[in-house]
Amino acid sequence: MIYGANGYTGRLVVAEALRKGLQPVLAGRNREQILAMGLDTGLETRVFGLETPEQVDAGLQGMGAVLHCAGPFVHTYRPMVEACLRLGVDYLDITGELAVLEGLHALDAKAKEAGILLLPGTGFDVVPTDCMAMKLASELPGSDRLILAFVNRGSRVSHGTLRSMLTRLGDPGAERVAGRLVAKPIGRLGTTIDFGLAQRFCMSIPWGDLFTAWTSTGIPNIVTMTASRPWVHRLLRLQALFNPLLQKPFFRRWLVRWVDRHVWGPSASELEQGQALVYGKISHPDGRVREARLVLPECYRLTAITSVGLVQQLGVLREQGRSGWCTPASAMGPEWVVSLEGCRWLESV
Ligand SMILES: NC(=O)c1ccc[n+]([C@@H]2O[C@H](COP(=O)([O-])OP(=O)(O)OC[C@H]3O[C@@H](n4cnc5c(N)ncnc54)[C@H](OP(=O)(O)O)[C@@H]3O)[C@@H](O)[C@H]2O)c1
């Protein structure tokens, strides 16, 4: 089942699943749009919201796995994962939200008891960066510092991504320090990073890998960064002044309405022509460092490819007796990302 199938990313995932010859059940709370998608594709549809356990249980009946695409996940993951635990359904999602990853990880023992997989982060955040972290950690064992950075060139963020970012507006960022997730100002670090095909100014942001790369590699100090305009980075120095305003409910409501009215895309040509680049650097206490770079399709296109790719691996993972929490790289290994269409390591810069 693809839940949230009518969302921007949900639709990309449905198209990719059909391209791969899969026949998912399409689900979501939006009756009109889900039924219309069913008519267009000939796929089975189910319409249900996430408000009560009864409706989620009824909606999930008979499913082997759900790929949850309805975010912000901080509002949606709990009812879905709890139903998965009750019904013995494998849970996958496309979240990159730290609080959600943390919440799912805490359910590891319950998931093992129920015999289900908890496999979040099946999209751009965190598949390539998780593979990058694991590859670097295996190349330089004993390392204690990891930097992961990304840029999505020639594209933009979707409605749902911005809505998810708004749930944390005005909150501090985070870094992993000595194994603990510690609040740090967004943009505390800013530096130019050489992605191989481009150099970009990047600043630190709280990204899902602060949780997943930690569970995949055990590296105790992790910073995650994204490309940004230098003026945005400079502006963020004033965040202590404007964060209280950003946290005001009336201001958040106004921004949510603005995003609902004005944010759409990426467009078909941005999906086609955009390109994501990932950079990773690991450091050993003895001074050795190692870097790696990935060249990838546009990040929403990649999310569809990686999510469907992981669903296709569920049979193998079940045969291996896997259950409980796993990250994409801990399930599939660090090289899995480059087995996917349009993904490659950049060998030299
Ligand atoms: N990690 C990654 O790399 C990655 C990549 C892409 C997207 N994402 C995340 O995926 C999420 C979706 O993004 P998008 O751009 O596809 O968003 P979108 O176009 O706004 O779609 C959101 C979907 O979620 C559903 N939804 C929202 N709140 C719900 C709730 N409380 N109960 C049930 N359904 C709910 C919406 O249903 P309605 O139509 O009924 O509102 C819609 O189907 C966001 O959280 C985004 O950050 C992550």
Average pLDDT over residues 143-161: 94
Give the residue, by CA position, lying nearest to ligand 1 atom 41.
30
Rounded to whole angstroms, the Cα distance separating 265 from 244 reads: 30
Among 60, 135, 111, 66, residue whose Cα is nearest residue 291:
135
Of all helices (H) and strands (E), which one includes residue 164? Answer: helix 159-166
Pick the closest to residue 103 from 88, 120, 117 (CA basis).
120
Q: Tell me: the pLDDT tens digits for 186-240?
A: 999 999 999 999 999 999 999 999 999 999 999 999 999 999 999 999 988 888 8
User: Which pLDDT score, from 0 to 100, does residue 239 have?
Assistant: 82
Q: Give the E-state strand segments of 82-237 in sequence order.
A: 90-93, 117-119, 145-153, 173-177, 180-184, 190-194, 199-204, 221-227
pLDDT for the residue numbered 26:
98
280 Cα: distance to centroid of ligand 1 (angstroms): 28
Q: What is the tens place of the pLDDT at every residue in 283-311?
A: 999 999 999 999 999 999 999 999 999 99
Q: Which of 1, 2, 66, 69 to mutate to test the pocket of ligand 1 (most atoms within 8 A of CB)?
A: 69
**How far apart are alpha carbons 267 and 261 in whole angstroms?**
16
Compute the distance between CA of residue 189 and CA of residue 97 in angstroms, rounded to an integer.
20
Q: Which atom of ligand 1 is nearest to the CA of 12?
A: 16
Cα of 139 vs centre of ligand 1, distance in Å, is 36
Q: List the one residue out of 236, 136, 156 whose CA is nearest residue 189.
A: 236
**71 alpha carbon – ligand 1 mean position (Å):** 4
Q: How confident is the model at residue 348 (pLDDT cuts 50, 70, 90)?
A: low
The answer, yes or no, to whether residue 263 has pLDDT greater than 90, is no
Asked if pLDDT for residue 340 goes beyond 80, the answer is yes
| Number of residues that make up the chain | 349
Instruction: Give the homologous superfamily in CATH for domain 127-300.
Output: Dihydrodipicolinate Reductase; domain 2 (3.30.360.10)
Ligand 1, atom 42, residue with closest C-alpha: 7
Residue ranges of the chain that CATH labels 3.30.360.10: 127-300
* Distance (Å) from CA 1 to ligand 1 centroid: 15
Task: Please say whether the structural domain 2-123+302-332 has been given the CATH code 3.30.160.150.
Answer: no
Q: What percent of the chain has pLDDT over 90?
A: 87
Cα–Cα distance, 223 to 187 (Å, whole number): 11
Report the separation in Å between the CA atom of 282 and the middle of ligand 1, taken as the mean of its atom positions: 33
Q: What is the pLDDT of residue 1?
A: 98
Contact residues of ligand 1, CB 6 A cut-off:
4, 6-10, 28-30, 49-50, 69-73, 75-76, 94-96, 123-125, 158-161, 163-164, 300, 303
Residue 159 has pLDDT above 80, yes or no: yes
Please state the rounded mean pLDDT for residues 103-115: 98
| Nearest-atom index, ligand 1, CA of 158 | 15
CA distance 107 to 104: 5
Q: Confidence class of residue 252 from pLDDT cuts 50, 70 and 90?
A: confident
Residue nearest to atom 10 of ligand 1 (CA): 71
Closest atom of ligand 1 to CA, residue 121:
1
Greatest mean pLDDT among 168-177, 204-213, 243-252 lies in 204-213
pLDDT (0 to 100) of residue 178: 98
Distance, in Å, from the CA atom of 155 to the CA atom of 132, rounded to the nearest integer, reads 22
Å from CA of 283 to ligand 1 middle: 36
CATH 3.40.50.720 domain range(s) in the chain: 2-123+302-332
For the segment 54-65, the average pLDDT, to the nearest whole number, is: 98
